[in-house]
Amino acid sequence: MWEQIRANRRRSIALILVMALVLALLGAMIGGAFSPEHVWVGTAVAIAIWAILWLVAAAAGREIVLASVGAREITHDDIPRLFNVVEEMTIAAALPKMPKVYLIDNDAPNAFACGTPENSAVAVTTGLLTRLNRDELQGVIAHEIGHIKNNDTKFMTLAGVLLGAVVLIADGFLRGMLFAGRGRRRGSAGGQGAAIFLLLAIIMAILAPVFAQLLYFACSRRREYLADACGALFTRYPEGLASALEKIEASASRMRDVNRVVAPMYIVNPLQGASASSLFSTHPPTADRVRVLRSMAGGAGLAQYEAAFRKVHRTGIMGAADLRQVPEAPIRQPGGDSGVEPLEQAREAVDVLHRLGGYIFLACPCGLKMKIPPAYGGKEIVCPRCGRGHRVPSGVD
Amino acid sequence: MPGLIVLGIVIAVVVIAVLWVVATYNGLVRLRAQANNAWAQIDVQLKRRHDLIPNLVETAKGYMKHERETLENVVKARNMAAGAQGPGAAARAETGLSNALGQFFVVVERYPDLKANQNFLALQEELTATENRIGFARQAYNDAVTRYNVRIRSVPANLIAGAFNFAPMELFELGVEAEREAPKVSF
């Protein structure tokens, strides 16, 4: 398989360089505003702030993100269907290592991925498992594995940290100016040179964060499209992802307890309005993504996605280098329906969460399956249906 | 002086040519390694399938007293597949195995007791999941091989491919009968 979509990588490197340049310039102007000889000091301070933020992000990383959404790791025996789908898509994408699989207790269907190809994780909500059929689930997992394959998490963290540094420095400088301006008139430390730098610094401090954000969001939207292209390619079935996106969109905004930092990582951004297509969106409008996927004709490969994208947007998204050696990828037939009732799937997902939470499962001879909180271990309970008494086994079995 | 300039140009051209050869060669090696890795993945999944079949037959034996021939065909096809070498031979043997298994599952329909056996159900599920994985591994392998084969035939990389013996690789195509089956659903 290709290392990652090349147009993707080239643009990402350009993005990182431009943002680093913006950061360095901002630092230089602010340094110059204090005194023209301090231009380099300003740059050095800006880069130091960026390095500190980067170290924090690198150290915190995956585990913190997963813990902050309350994701729990699951194994094959917990939900074989989900696990099998992840394994299939790992094979289809030729990832060097299968991602760890996590489950989030949330009724709204959604999913995200994080990590590098060598050490990654995929997290899905219980709502996703209960609402999607197997083809749709496969499409979502393929999209997430596309993100991992394309190294999106790494680039977006790097870009996000740069953006954070620019915003932090610009904000700090402007606040400082207000404070200093109210307190006393600035001494004429550097004369006219400093005054010019001061003006430039103020302009930079106002414009740089906006500019950096625009770049960052444009890159993020582009990567969502490319992950969709990978989703279609790996499953050979664009309709699965398209119909999953519609289902997710229908209830994503109802997702509760969404963490602001994690929101842009989901397959559909739960904090973004349905019709949003502004320059400040992390995701393209879902309806638009669905339209591109449904316009794919004659195959599920990158070339067909590019053609469909051109049909919808009148402009392409991949470079010529990406399309030179793409194999044919005929669209496959939809898999049969799972045959499992949605209610059954919901029960399955919730059971897993209970088991992971240390709940005790007890079957009453009347046929009722009771799930008892761990606090009742070793106590006597009565079956709510038939009235038989039971002693709850203590501790985790 | 002009001599030096000419010499410089010649050296520059040689350096660029050497760099191009190295880069192209490395690119071909990488593509070939990707195809080989993908093949290893197919191999893993095929082995998994071969390992499941003795258990399946053993479980079925107790219930299917009068179907000795069907069971023997499955075992024979399985042993052929396990011994096959290379994508072409493996594809033929695997198609034979798929057909034998297809007949076996048709016969199973006549034995409700067997169909209800927990052990048998678990094996059947595992077999379907493995067949799904074989399908996707085959897809990844064929993609990698196509990429590699296109690359070694295209100008100018074909010069390097010819000079260093990069032979085209074989696709892994299962027979028509197995092909027609859509990937099955499994849990």
What is the residue-wise DSSP string for A27-77? HHHHHHHH-GGGHHHHHHHHHHHHHHHHHHHHHHHHHHHHHHTTEEE--TT
Question: Which residues are A122's β-sheet partners?
Answer: A101, A113
A144 is catalytic: yes
Distances (CA, A) of A237 to B134, B160, B163: 17, 37, 40
Please list, in sequence order, all residues whose beta carbon lies within 8 angstroms of the beta carbon of residue A155, skipping any fewer than 6 positions away: A12, A15, A16, A219, A223
| pLDDT at residue B19 greater than cutoff 90 | yes
**Predicted pLDDT of residue A275:** 52
Q: How far apart are CA A140 and CA A242, in angstroms?
A: 9
- For the ranges A150-154, A315-319, B18-22, B92-96, which has the lowest average pLDDT? A315-319
Residue-level pLDDT at B183: 47
Among B34, B183, B185, beta carbon nearest to A1? B34
Catalytic residue (choose from A144, A239, A249, A306) = A144
Lowest-pLDDT range, A7-16, A135-144, B6-15, B141-150? A7-16
Tell me whether B158 touches chain A (CB under 8 Å).
Answer: no
Indicate the pTM of the whole model: 0.79
B144 touches A: beta carbon within 8 Å: yes
> Mean pLDDT of all residues in chain B?
85
Out of A88, A234, A337, closest to residue B133 by CB? A88
Pairing of strands A360-363, A111-116: unpaired
Read off the pLDDT of each residue in B9-15 and give the average, rounded to a whole number.
Answer: 95
Find the residue in A nearest to B148 (Cα): A325
User: In the prediction, which pLDDT does A277 show?
Assistant: 57
Closest Cα in chain B to A82 = B187
**Angle, vertex CA B145, rays to CA B140 and CA B147, nearest 5:** 95
Q: What is the crossing angle of helices B2-61 and B86-108, to 10°?
A: 30
Q: What is the pLDDT of residue A181?
A: 61
The alpha carbon of residue B150 is apart from the nearest alpha carbon of chain A, in Å, by 7
Q: Does B169 contact chain A (CB < 8 Å)?
A: no
Q: Which residues of chain A have pLDDT under 70?
A: 1-8, 60-61, 181-191, 252-254, 256-261, 272-280, 319-328, 335-346, 395-397
Nearest chain B residue to A301, by CA: B143
How far is CA A397 from each of CA A99, A359, A377, B86, B152, rounded to the nearest angstrom? 28, 10, 10, 48, 59
pLDDT of residue A257: 66
Backbone angles phi, psi at B63, to 5 degrees: -95, -30
pLDDT at residue number B115: 83
**Residue found under tokens 């050497």:** B18
Q: What is the per-residue pLDDT for A338?
A: 47
Whether residue B179 is predicted with pLDDT greater than 50 in this model: the reply is no
Q: DSSP letter for A314, please.
A: S
For B91-111, what is the mean pLDDT?
88
Among candidates B139, B140, B183 on the partner chain, residue whose Cβ is nearest the Cβ of A335: B183
CB-CB contact of A92 with A69 (8 Å): no
H helix runs in chain A, sequence order: 6-34, 39-68, 80-93, 126-131, 134-149, 152-183, 191-235, 238-252, 286-294, 302-313, 320-323, 342-356
**Cα–Cα nearest to A65, from A160, A131, A146:** A160
Q: In what order do the strands lie in the sheet with A119-125?
A: A71-73, A100-104, A119-125, A111-116
Instruction: Give dist(CA B100, CA B96) in Å, integer.
Output: 6
Is the preceding peptide bond at B87 cis, omega within 30 degrees of 0? no
Q: Which residues of A touch B184 (CB under 8 A)?
A: 335-336
Residue B151 has pLDDT above 80, yes or no: yes
What pLDDT is recorded for position A144?
A: 94
Q: Closest Cα of chain B to A87: distance in Å?
A: 8
Amino acid symbol at B123:
L
pLDDT given for residue A173 in this prediction: 86
pLDDT of residue B17: 92
**Which residues of chain A lie closer than 8 angstroms to B146, CB-CB?**
325, 327-328
The answer to whether the CB atoms of A87 and B184 lie below 8 A apart is: no
ipTM above 0.85, yes or no: no
CB contacts < 8 A, A to B, total: 67
